[in-house]
Amino acid sequence: GDSVTQMEGPVTLSEEAFLTINCTYTATGYPSLFWYVQYPGEGLQLLLKATKADDKGSNKGFEATYRKETTSFHLEKGSVQVSDSAVYFCALSDLTGANSKLTFGKGITLSVRP
Partner 1 sequence: NAGVMQNPRHLVRRRGQEARLRCSPMKGHSHVYWYRQLPEEGLKFMVYLQKENIIDESGMPKERFSAEFPKEGPSILRIQQVVRGDSAAYFCASSPPGAGLASEQYFGPGTRLTVT
Q: Going by C-beta distance under 8 Å and a sequence separation of 6 or more, which residues neighbour residue 15?
A: 80, 81, 82, 112, 113, 114
Amino acid at 47: L
**How far out from the chain centre does Cα 72 lie?**
10
The CB-of-114 to partner 1 minimum distance in angstroms stands at 27
Q: Find the binding residues for partner 1 in span 19-78 (CB under 8 A).
A: 32, 34, 36, 41-46, 49, 51
Q: Report the nearest approach of partner 1 to the CB of residue 15 (Å).
A: 27
Q: For the chain, what's the residue count?
A: 114
Helix, strand, coil distribution of the chain in percent, nearest 5: 5, 55, 45
Q: What is the smallest separation between the CB atom of 102 and partner 1, expressed in angstroms?
A: 5
Among 74, 75, 89, 110, binds partner 1 (CB under 8 A): 89
Residues making contact with partner 1 (CB under 8 A): 4, 6, 32, 34, 36, 41-46, 49, 51, 89, 91, 93, 95, 98-107
